[in-house]
Amino acid sequence: MSWMRFALAVFASGLASSLTDWFFMGDLLYKRFNKHPEIWRYPSDKGASKAIAWSAPLPFLTCGVFALACAQLHLHSYGATVKLALEVWLIAPLPWIITTSLWMKLQPMIAAAYSLGWLVKLILAAIAVALILR
C-alpha cells in the first residue's frame, strides 16, 4: 500500500465528510437546533470555538481508520468498500443515534440527519478507498 495514496484518500474523504457534516447538521437543520436549548453545552454559540477545534479532526480519523481497515481486509472494489461502510454504519452510529434520540430531547429530524450524515461519511470513505487505494 502506498502511504501517499493512503494519505490522499484520507484527506479527500475527510474533507468531503467534513463538508457533509456541515451540510447535514449546520445548514440543513440549523433552525431546529434550538427547540431544546438546554441540551447544548454552548448556548448561543458562546465558547463553541473550542468544541469545533476538537471535533474538526474527527472526520479525518474516521476516514483514516476506515481506509486502514479496508486495506487490511484487502477490500478495494466499490461494492466491497460500500458494503463495509453500510455494515459499520449499522453496527455503531445508527443504533447509537437512535438510542440517544429515544432518551434525550433530540428531534427525529436531527437524529435522522445525524444518522444520514454518518452513512454519507462512511460511503465517501469507501469511495475514496476504491478510487484512490486501488
Q: Render pLDDT for 56-111 as a digit per residue (tens, 0 to 9).
A: 899 999 999 999 999 999 999 999 999 999 999 999 999 999 999 999 888 888 88
Q: Render pLDDT for 4-33 as a digit per residue (tens, 0 to 9).
A: 999 999 999 999 988 887 777 765 566 666
Nearest by Cα to 60 from 119, 19, 91: 19
Give phi and psi for 10, each to the nearest 5.
Answer: -65, -45
The answer to whether residues 36 and 128 touch, using CB atoms and an 8 Å cutoff, is: no
Range(s) of the domain holding residue 127? 3-132
Instruction: Name the burial class of residue 54, with classes exposed (0-12), middle (13-18) and buried (19+) by CB atoms within 10 angstroms of its CB.
Output: exposed
pLDDT value of residue 32: 64
* Domain count along the chain: 1
